[in-house]
Chain A
Amino acid sequence: MTAPTPVNSFRTLPDETGHFGQFGGRYVAETLMPLILDLEKEYRKAQQDPAFWAEFDALMKDFVGRPSPLYFAPRMTDYFRAKTPAGKGPKIYFKREELNHTGAHKINNCIGQILLAIRMGKTKIIAETGAGQHGVATATVAARFGLPCKIFMGAKDIERQKPNVFRMKLLGAEVVSCESGSQSLKDSMNDALRHWVANVHDTFYIIGTAAGPHPYPELVRDFQSIIGKETREQMLEKEGRLPDMLVAAVGGGSNAIGLFHPFLDDPEVQMTGIEAAGHGIDTDKHAASLTGGKPGILHGNKTYLLQDEDGQITEAHSISAGLDYPGLGPEHSWLHESGRVNYVPITDTQALEAFQLCCELEGIIPALESAHALAALPQLTAEMDEDKLLVVNVSGRGDKDIFTVAEALGVEL
């Protein structure tokens, strides 16, 4: 059953030109434009095709392992109740995306996009990756469907993320080293776009987050919205009502928009998106594009970007490779300006503390990205009454991050 769309809905965008207010759009080279228009046409058909969603749902269940649990975190809840004033400290739930196949939410989107690629008759897959999580998820679906796959990855990231590079190779992907620019995520996206523009006739680009030219932000959001839809059903079943607060980390912002979007028109549900503040937003080493950036155009969309006054893109920094990007998805820029979602910066140090706390109290090693979301709990729990319900999206597991964390804590492995 679909409820009628309320008059003042937050869920009707993007508009027909792919904009969320002033954000989003299709800022690509002419060579790519016809393909982007084709992709939109094909996605509109797929949206209306029950067979497409039946295949998506079947893969989600048996290949990805969904639904992911909504887990009540008892010790974390008690811990914050003990630290906050009497009567404060909500019940804390985790949406356990880290239990998905490949260890993060990324696979949800990859399944959806490879099904679109196949519908469009494309025979080759490319993707960009920073830490390697999206690269591994893309290599996984490419293997599952038997399509050759190239993953573009910054030379520095290849050096930093050797286990994921090997995983991709095991899955049959070719990892292409990007030597240009800062040799990290944004440069891998530049090189993926350069490859795509020369191979548009047979190649599908699986973008890893809810960003890029329209219709990518919309379709990535739609595929990731399974997170929020499940959360809604699970919370109604467990508590008989909707959650009061949703918390998720925002790099490009796909796990956050996936959790938030199904709740945007429920005014009683508040939402907090977490930006990576690196060494602090008053330093030049952070990745908080809403707090420290301004609107601009990069990688096919208009959105908040870290940039200088000439519009040159500045380097992002975060201890979490998945948040280490100088922009974010355009819908988040719009939700920020419209005030529907509150965005908060969290530093490397705060994320590391939350990472350890989650390990010790709940027996769950979260990804550093998810640790940024967990790090908002001290402040949020102090403000919320104990009968309130809070959900943190534990978007990925932290196995990939143990080397980074060990180094930050001064531990020799």
Chain B
Amino acid sequence: MTSNRFETAFAKGPALVCFITGGDGNTAANLDALVEGGADVIELGMPFTDPMADGPAIQEANIRSLDAGTRTADIFRMASEFRARHPQVPLVLMGYANPMIARGADWFADECAKAGVDGVICVDIPPEEDAELGPALRANDVSLIRLATPTTDAARLPAVLEGSSGFLYYVSVAGVTGMQQAAQGSIEDAVAKLKAASSIPVAVGFGVRTPEQASEIAKVADGVVVGSALVDLVKQHGTDAPAHLRKLTAALAEAVHAER
């Protein structure tokens, strides 16, 4: 069962969540390197022509992937092959609304379930537009992982939590991916508020690049999300990326797991 994979992953204490863009480089080898390095949860980015919530690193990864001819069917193939190789590691698809609804939300949710995808993060479907994707995912037992941000106030938080499961992704800075990091104090306050309002794990991301940062966040949160720093390695090293990904992931995992 899908929710069990998340529960197992977060039950051991702070978890490391690693993101790479699907179809950028050798995705299967890259994903394996993340798991071998010690990633507890995998986020696989679905490329989109207009990734407006992403900074330059992930924008470029989207373009490299699409230029290489990546189709939605390829992403689901990568997902189901990953599931076959790694039966226990939670797998999340992260992306934008239009590719997810292009063939209908039911089609997308059904493909997720068939491929063994545990959860979906959709950047541009806020709770107000939940009907677009949420019901289809829940009907297929796929978690909808919502984002909370520094601008999400107490009045909005219940709406964000309603219908979300798996974990809550706290976007620690108002901005795009990979640009700057938030002050530790502000993260601590925000995570405390989120945890008081919800029983699902809270993972913190945006701007986290180093084991030192990850270690600080793991002191207060249930998970640490790293994306752009890994995507940068894929850009730098191309098909030689797995060794580099494994090394950085191992350092990050050691830092995060040390807080268990």
| A residues lining the B interface (CB < 8 Å) | 17, 25-35, 180-181, 186-187, 189-190, 193-194, 197-201, 296-300, 302, 305, 307, 309-313
Compute how far the CA of A300 lies from the CA of B156 in the bound complex, rounded to whole angstroms. 19
Cβ A30 vs Cβ B98 within 8 A: no
Residue ID in chain A nearest B102 by CB atoms: A311
- Chain B residues closer than 8 Å to A33, beta-carbon distance: 126, 128, 151-152, 156
- Contacts A198-B176, A309-B102; is A30 near B151 (CB within 8 Å)? yes
CA distance A199 to B176 in the complex (A): 11
Q: Of residues B55, B125, B179, which shows the largest number of chain A Cβ atoms within 10 Å of its Cβ?
A: B125
Among candidates B51, B71, B148, B149, residue contacting A310 with C-beta atoms closer than 8 Å: B71
Assembly CA distance A313 to B96 (angstroms): 12
User: Given the complex, which residues of B lie within 8 Å of A180, measured CB to CB?
Assistant: 56, 59, 63
Known contacts A305-B98, A309-B102; is-contact A200 B174 (Cβ 8 Å): yes
Q: Does chain A have a CB within 8 A of B68?
A: no
Q: Are the C-beta atoms of B156 and A313 separated by less than 8 Å?
A: no
| A27 touching B125, Cβ below 8 Å | yes
Across the interface, do B101 and A311 meet the contact criterion of CB distance under 8 Å?
yes
The proximity string for B residues 152-169 relative to A, scoring 1 for CB distances below 8 Å and 0 otherwise, is: 110010001000000000
Q: List 11 A-B contacts (CB under 8 A).
A: A17-B128, A26-B126, A29-B126, A30-B171, A33-B156, A194-B55, A197-B176, A297-B98, A297-B124, A297-B132, A311-B48
Q: Which B residues are in CB contact (< 8 Å) with A199?
A: 174
Q: Which residue of B lies closest to A311 (CB)?
A: B102
Q: How far is the CA of A318 from the CA of B189 in the complex (A)?
A: 50
B-side interface residues, number (CB < 8 Å): 45
Residues B45-71 near A (CB distance < 8 A): 48-56, 59, 63, 66, 71
Q: Are A313 and B50 in contact (CB under 8 A)?
A: yes
Residue B182 at the A interface, CB < 8 A?
Answer: no
Q: Does B99 contact A (CB under 8 A)?
A: yes
Interface of A is mostly: mixed
Q: Does B98 contact A298, Cβ atoms closer than 8 Å?
A: yes
Given known contacts A25-B129, A310-B72, A31 and B171 CB-to-CB distance under 8 angstroms: yes
Q: State in angstroms the CA–CA spacing of A198 and B149 once bound together.
A: 11
**Closest Cβ neighbor of B175 among chain A residues:** A198
Q: CA A33 – CA B160 in complex, angstroms?
A: 11
B146 within 8 A of A: yes
Mask, B112-150, CB within 8 Å of A = 1, is 000000000001111011001000000000000011111
B152, A30: Cβ atoms under 8 Å? yes
User: Chain B residues near A197 (CB, 8 Å)?
Assistant: 53, 174-176
B126 touches A311 (CB 8 A): no
B59 cross-chain contacts in A, Cβ below 8 A: 180
Contact B174 A296 (CB under 8 A): no
CA distance A200 to B129 in the complex (A): 21
Q: Please, how many angstroms separate the alpha-carbon atoms of A314 and B66 in the complex?
A: 12
A358 to chain B, nearest CB (A): 35
Q: Give the docked Cα–Cα distance between A307 and B150 (Å).
A: 33
Most buried by B among A30, A35, A190, A313: A30
A309 B129 Cβ-Cβ under 8 A: no
Q: Is the CB of B156 within 8 A of A194?
A: no
Task: Considering the complex, give the chain A residue whose CB is closest to the CB of B177.
Answer: A194
Give the distance in Å from the alpha carbon of A30 to the alpha carbon of B100 in the complex: 18
User: Nearest chain A CB to B186's CB is how many angstroms away?
Assistant: 13
